[in-house]
Amino acid sequence: MDGVSKYFDGGETVANSRLDLEVDDGEFLVILGPSGCGKTTALRLVAGLEDPSEGDIYFDDERVNRWSPSERNVAMVFQNYALYPHMSVRENIAYPLKVRGIPPDERDRRIEEVTELLHIEGQIGKRPAALSGGQRQRVALARAIVREPSVFLLDEPLSNLDAKLRQEMRSELKRLQDELGITTIYVTHNQEEAMSMADTVVVMNRGTIQQISPPEELYSRPRTEWVARFIGSPPMNLFEGRRRNGSIAIGEAGTVDLEGVAGIQGIDAASASASTSTSASLSDDLSLGIRPEDLFLSSERPTSGNALEGTVDTVEPLGEYTLVNVAVDDRLVKVKVGDADVTRGEEVWVTFDDEDAYLYDENGELVTQ
């Protein structure tokens, strides 16, 4: 996609704004974002179900803006995978091959292959009504794959399944995509789904692309404050801070040594405090972000390092970890700990290492060298 925008309602609704995006052959790309951010529209543009208002879409080196969906040879699977209810599983899967005039023995061969791949060999005589949700979803995938499309487009295909099945299908889809090596664009608002399956994640917000990264990098290096607030469960704690000489003051709770944070983020700390070019470009209003898993609780004020004073507000034992909400000034700071030996109302110190802090400037951009 080269500068692709899509407007609706005579330009009043901007569904997609200047999207630049490249998907490699065989890549599993996931578009992740909150409801209404423009994910489905982006997918429909690739499929040829919508025309771009501006910009160009290419398949390899061919500009496909005016190509019909069938000319693009894409297969799409939606959340509401519509199977033909009056046809058997076999007939459902065979249908797209019949339409394309594939001869019967070739058809049989491909159906056998795809039903084996999706473990639905035992279901092929049944009607969709006699299948479970997961089996229906597999048939829908089989019907899409059997055509051997050049691109596979999936729009929240697992959201109608229960949590356990969704997780199973997630690994299966990933395996399938690996085996077939088929270029895939997958749309979801579910972070876990995105992170677990994607080679590359595209994070969207309000019609624009916020970040394009491998999953690990999205977590370890969120490039905007918006992404920092979106990724992670629970997401990063962000503090409003003001730069004061070599430190960042966070409300009344404490100050954080800018030198340490900045050094880790790649800024030359000496220059930051000495007001040379780097610090000149660094705004006074900054946000400091720390992930809940990078915060620690201490009952005593540590003798060195960063510490924010607070009061335990709630303790949520979640099995895998315990989430402690600590009131610091007038906000709640989320701290993930293994075992919490604190109780509500207790005074605590929240501590963290410089190297785990992220700084965002007043435009919400990650501060880097």
Q: Which residues of this protein are in contact with ligand ATP, per CB under 6 A?
A: 8-9, 13, 15, 33, 35-41, 189
For the chain, give percent helix, strand, coil, nearest 5. 35, 30, 35
CB of 155 to ligand ATP, least distance (A): 8
Mapped onto helix, strand or coil, the DSSP state of residue 72 is helix
Q: How far is it, in rounded angstroms, from Cα 143 to Cα 83? A: 9
> Position 359: which residue type?
L
CB of 25 to ligand ATP, least distance (A): 25
Q: Which residues pair with 14 in a beta bridge?
A: 7
CB of 188 to ligand ATP, least distance (A): 8
- Closer to ligand ATP by Cβ: residue 16 or 115: 16
Q: Which residues pair with 314 in a beta bridge?
A: 325
For every residue of 215-265, DSSP letters joined together read: HHHHHH--SBHHHHHHSBTTB-EEEEEEEETTEEEETTTEEEEHHHHHHHT
* Whether 187 contacts 227, CB under 8 Å: no
* Whether 335 contacts 323, CB under 8 Å: yes
- Closer to ligand ATP by Cβ: residue 38 or 48: 38
CB of 346 to ligand ATP, least distance (A): 41
- Closer to ligand ATP by Cβ: residue 15 or 117: 15
CB of 36 to ligand ATP, least distance (A): 4
* Whether 52 contacts 45, CB under 8 Å: yes
CB of 159 to ligand ATP, least distance (A): 9
Q: Which residues pair with 31 in a beta bridge?
A: 187, 202
- Closer to ligand ATP by Cβ: residue 38 or 55: 38
Question: CA 242: distance to chain centroid?
Answer: 30
- Closer to ligand ATP by Cβ: residue 31 or 97: 31
* Whether 333 contacts 307, CB under 8 Å: no
CB of 14 to ligand ATP, least distance (A): 8
- Closer to ligand ATP by Cβ: residue 187 or 308: 187
- Closer to ligand ATP by Cβ: residue 43 or 114: 43
Q: How far is it, in rounded angstroms, from Cα 19 to Cα 198? A: 19
